Structure 1
Amino acid sequence: MRKVYLFAILFCLNFGNIFSQKNFNPPATKQIPVVDSLFGYIITDPYRWLEDKANPEVKDWSVKQDEYARQWIALNTKPIEGLNEEIRRYIDRDYRSAPFFKGNREFFFARKKGEQQNKLYTRIKGKEKLIFDPLKIDPSGKTAIVSYVLNKTADKLAVGVQTKGNEIAKFYFIDTKTGKEIYPPIDNVYSLNWCRDNRFVYITYRSMDDIKNQKPLKTYLHKLGEGPEKDLLILATKDAKDFASIWDDENSSLTFISEGDFYSNTLKVVNSSAPSDTITLFSSKEFQAFPIAVKDGKIYFRTNFNAPNSKLMVASIEKPTFENWVDLIPENENPKEDFVVTNYNIIVREKKDVLSRLRLYSLDGKFIRELELPEFANVSGISYNKETGSIFVSLMSFTTPAKLYRLDEKELNWQFIFEDKPPIETSNLETKQVFYTSKDGTRIPMFIVYKKGLKLDGNNPTLLYGYGGFNVSMLPHYIGVTASFVNRGGVYAVACLRGGSEYGENWHKQGMLK
């Protein structure tokens, strides 16, 4: 990874010099034209054949291109003093993640300089305790923690690992006080949720064969410690593109079931007091709805039903079907990302001009005020711990790593909890947001990060990044080792293209030409 960063920064810093050299002659690439008609346009792609990474000819092409590029840079660019060491210090260092909490328990990830993977720790009576180390499973360092699921009381943990970046997880089951395995691990797991009875889990399997043959997902009730042949099938999708999930709400006797695709779903509920009765709450081929809280006899739903930017609706547990839902916090021009329902209020995380902020509402949906942040930053995450009455807010900017703050749910006072302090100087960098006009006249936002005092005259080496897909927003995020490039006179720009969700569902659909 360090070599990849170094190569990219060297390329950008020497960009003008590279293409002014007469001896830049990379290995030739053959062309095999493929013609497509897309949205009324004829597109000719001469390099489609390079997408087949299993093709020996493609592998050979990749090796030769890489070898030539590295040789050319070694011969034609000057070493950048201190860059190699700076990137090494950033990547290989003592690291600790922000803590995360459940009930009265605290957990965090950490690794020491020289270690290749994060380990999972807890804190018990002020003392740190290692509870899961992927290096014990795979000393080569090629197995990483990719997910974790705590049960309601946080005394049991299901932790998923993947090896060599594959898409298949293996889950281990851990006692979070001792770090000992309490059940045999389960392989080929796509998703997993604890049941209310912690002897069981809801589990969706997914093998490499399932992925290769695009088999529909199936979810089972699995008793821990028993073989999969005893599993009970409880959910099955009909198409590989569809999703299905089931989970027990931790604050009630309700179990929710969601089935659907990327754009729509059917939501059902089962009450453990009447387990034979399954009630369909919501069903649509155009919209989605998900429960985000159950409190005081009410279910709160986040939905985009006739609300592309999302809204909050509510219904009673006694009359939970959609015709009884009532708008609580309606849609507005700003996309809503999260709703947190506490004992005293509702906090909404929403985006305005690609910057997330927090707005405070009463429990009956009346807007009170915007919550002023303790510093200028993007709100990158928010969560609620009902047991302790704490709201945890993560803040981040292009030049500041994630910082974690705690808000008391009643007083709403900010308390600093944690920040990462990587060894790269960013205090001399600044960020500005600009807007430019797209081909069709649409106003597009873009962030620019540069060194203070740098003249932005179009002559600086610039790394421009854009995504514009899958409803993903390019919100301000810590640039990490890219700061090494910016500190040396480079400019880093992020264009917030359509196809993401920067301005809601309409922005997303425009990127799909809909």
Structure 2
Amino acid sequence: MQTRKVDVVENFHGTWVADPYRWLENSRDPEVREWVDRQNERTEEFLKTPERRPAIKERLAELWDYPRTFLPRKAGSWYFYEHNSGLQNQPVLYRKNGLDGEAEVVLDPNRWSEDGTVAMSGFSVDEGARYLSYTVSVHGSDRQEIRIRDLEKGVELPDVIKWCRFTNMAWFKDLGFYYSRYPQPGTVAPEDENNFNQVYWHSLGTTQEEDVLVFEMPEQKELSFSPSISCDQQYLILHAFRGTDDCNGVFYRRLGHDREFVRLFEPGEAAYHYLGNEGRTFFFATNWQAPRGRIVAVDLDKPGKEHWVEILPEQKDAIEDVRCVDGGFVVYFLHNAYAVLRTYDRQGRELKELELPAMGSIQGLWGRPNQKEVFFVFTSFLHPEAVYHYDFETGDLRIFAEPKLTFRPEEFETHQVFYPSKDGTQVSMFLVHKKGLKLDGRSPALLYGYGGFNIAITPFFSPVRMWWLEQGGVYAVANLRGGSEYGEEWHQAGMLANKQNVFDDFMAAAEWLVANGYTSRERLVIEGRSNGGLLVSAVLVQRPELFGAVVCVVPVTDMLRFHRFTVGRYWVPEYGDAETNPEHFQFLYKYSPLHNVKPAEYPPTIVVTADGDDRVVPGHAYKFAATLQEAQKGKAPVLLRVDTKSGHGHGKPTAKIVEEQSDICAFLVKVLGI
């Protein structure tokens, strides 16, 4: 399909760069919408022919139809948690009075819209469990509105708070809460609508116009703030972030005493995660001079690093998460990219390692310093999410909520291998497949990766992966540099000027799978989403002959202009800035997928996005698909699938997820001949 081109050329530090499809960036333009409709019609025409498409959708719906419970949290005597009975579009918020109490529905977002595209994106409860504040997202947007419910009376309060993104709500007693927000649209320049983050106090029963400004730093407009309140309700703590940079600042003030905030740690130095406090001694998990993390105690009266008390030194395994519970710590480590969970006392002595059912992941960890219990969610490739409860007094570890399986896990196996990347670095990779797999190169394989933003890709359950395994496919997950699997050094080895390492790691994984008989080049699928979409689009244009098919979901592809759209500026610490930094331009331009498409025979490719994605705007996918379609010299299809009334992925209704995954699976069945 040919797309209209325009004569747009931009000068980057003396290099003129053409951008012939820039007009596709404006997703509200009627011409762009018409172009999207034609692309969707073309994709639908291609996907109509597999006779198995209805059966694929039916089986995926069966695999998704299992009850799943999300991480509980306690307030007063009540336990709050979200639960999806199976195919509900949105999980429902419940509460129980005590661990064995009867479940009561608190909020059912499925009643908010007929198509399930209005979601609850977060919630917070005051210490006495009288009031619930929660955020609402529409059509998958990152924009949030805060609403409040009186749980005792069972009624909604009239309070509505707008212009929030990624905010939390830190309650002070039952009087109100602190939150962060952005400027009201129209009060600042459009490019600053995601700058100038501020922290406000909201008193119950008042309007947003009456909210009190608590903190701002307009001289550093790129900073954003996450407020929390210490468990003893004595301190307001702000974590200050510059985009997605993990090197955050920490500011605090004593409630009812201090007017000004004390800037304990400045942004840009290291990562500091507040865990709890005993009076004026604060506990932090930090990677300061410890790339794999450690736990320290900081006396607020003597906060200098020379006065720190190290509680848990850096270990061989990387710390992924920590909670301060019952006078000690629960620490989630990553050992070769899978979970190990241990408890420690206040002096850092190991008390117990909690036994986990398999090589898997902890997806959520909850506990409070003044309580004697912790919840965590465990999952693996063959284990759907199960919620566990650990009692520190009895030492009892039990299942709080367990899913019912819709497949036979005993038919499959998981193992881990290590392979050399281009520069010799050893990279780990998980492999999942049916037992008794013959290594004859005939099996289809799907290689998944991410490699960025200090995010670990660990074993996780996915119904669509189970469908793939049932077809006899191999599922491979590579732990690429750029993630947090092996600590901050692993992360830094895959960011900024080192980004090519991520692509090299991924291509080396593909070569290893072929060389060791797990698949052939023609049967090898690669898939990635968001930053992983950048990954697969980059390796596609670098080595198109290496892959049999490509699934590229909500990708970042224009590495010269990404920072100009919505929250793209948040990613500058990870990627760089081609506009202001000549050195950054050189390495970004060298690998930017959009700018490195050349006429070639590309494998079958489907690019997937959503018209409401306000995190990675769909213009990335539109321009890349148009460029790739023009450059395709072979006969393989290059398709674009654009969803409507949805965003980057968070809050997407189950029905839309099943529909999208059915189309992707149908695409793979057709192009691979499965």
TM-score (norm 2): 0.65
Distance in 2 between the 1:431 and 1:42 partners? 49
**Amino acid in structure 2 at the alignment position of 1:213:** E
Q: Cα distance, 1:496 vs. partner? A: 1.6
Deviations 1:133-186 (A, max 9, x none): 234443443211111011122221101111111221122211234432234222
1:74 matched to which residue of 2?
48
- 1:241 corresponds in structure 2 to 222
**Is contact 2:168–2:227 with CA below 8 Å preserved after alignment?**
no
Once the two structures are superposed, the pairs formed by residues 46-445 of structure 1 within 5 Å of their partners are 53-54=27-28, 58-75=32-49, 77-79=50-52, 82-91=55-64, 96-97=69-70, 99-111=72-84, 115-124=88-97, 126-190=101-165, 191-206=167-182, 207=184, 212-214=190-192, 215-238=195-218, 239-261=220-242, 262-272=245-255, 274-276=257-259, 278-283=261-266, 285-295=268-278, 298-316=281-299, 318-320=301-303, 322-343=305-326, 345-367=328-350, 370-386=353-369, 388-445=371-428
Aligned to 1:499: 482
Name the counterpart of 1:488.
Answer: 471
Secondary structure in structure 2 of the residue aligned to 1:166: coil
Distance in 2 (CA, whole Å) between partners of 1:468 and 1:323 is: 35
Distance 1:142 1:377, change over 3 A: closer
Bigger Cα displacement from structure 2, 391-400 vs 450-459: 450-459
Helix, strand or coil for the counterpart of 2:442?
coil
| Off by >6 Å, runs of 4+ in structure 1 | 30-38, 41-49
Verify the 8 A CA contact 1:450 1:490 in the aligned structure 2: yes
Residues 174-183 or 314-323, more deviating: 314-323
1:94 Cα deviation from its structure 2 partner: 5.9
1:441 positional shift: 1.5
Residue 339 of structure 1: CA displacement? 2.3
Aligned residue type for 1:204: S
Secondary structure of 2:164's match? strand
The answer for unaligned runs of 5 or more in structure 2 is 499-674
Alpha-carbon distance in structure 1 between the residues aligned to 2:32 and 2:427: 37
Q: 1:334, 1:351 within 8 Å by CA — same for their partners in 2?
A: yes
CA distance 1:118–1:265, shift in 2 (3 Å): closer
Deviation of 1:29 (Å): 5.7
How far did 1:110 drift? 3.4
Opposite residue 85 of structure 1, the aligned amino acid is E
Aligned with 1:184: secondary structure?
A: strand
Checking the alignment, whether the CA contact within 8 Å between 1:259 and 1:265 is kept in structure 2 is yes
| Cα distance, 1:329 vs structure 2 | 1.2
Greater fraction strand? 1
Give percent identity, aligned residues only. 28
Equivalent position SS for 2:48 = helix
Given residue 311 of structure 1, which amino acid in structure 2 is its aligned partner?
R
Structure 1 residue 475, shift from structure 2 partner: 0.7
Instruction: Report the alpha carbon displacement of residue 468 of structure 1 after superposing the two structures with TM.
Output: 1.0
Q: Which consecutive residues of structure 1, in runs of 5 or more, have no partner in the other structure? A: 1-26
Q: Provide closer, same or farther for how the CA distance between residues 490 and 28 of structure 1 changes in structure 2, counting only shifts above 3 A.
A: farther
Residues 465 and 307 of structure 1, relative CA distance in 2, 3 Å threshold: same
Residue matched to 1:17: none
Closer/same/farther in 2, CA of residues 203 and 481 from structure 1, 3 Å limit? same
Asked which structure has the greater RCO (Cα within 8 Å, sep 6+), the reply is 2
Give the direction of change, closer, same or farther, for the CA distance of 1:152–1:317 in structure 2 (3 Å limit). Answer: farther
RMSD of Structure 2 on Structure 1 (CA): 3.3
Q: How big is each residue's C-alpha offset from its partner over 1:342-388, in whole Å with a ceiling of 9 and x where there is no partner?
A: 33543321112111212333321234564433554333332224555
Whether the aligned pair in 2 keeps the contact of 1:104 and 1:388 (CA below 8 Å) is no
- Equivalent of 2:431 in 448, 451, 474: 448
Query: Could you tell me whether the CA contact under 8 Å between 1:194 and 1:202 is conserved in 2?
Result: yes
Asked whether the equivalents of residues 120 and 130 of structure 1 are also in contact (C-alpha less than 8 Å), the reply is yes
Mean Cα deviation higher: 313-322 or 160-169: 313-322
Q: Given that residues 99 and 106 in structure 1 are in contact (C-alpha distance below 8 angstroms), is that contact kept between their aligned partners in structure 2?
A: yes
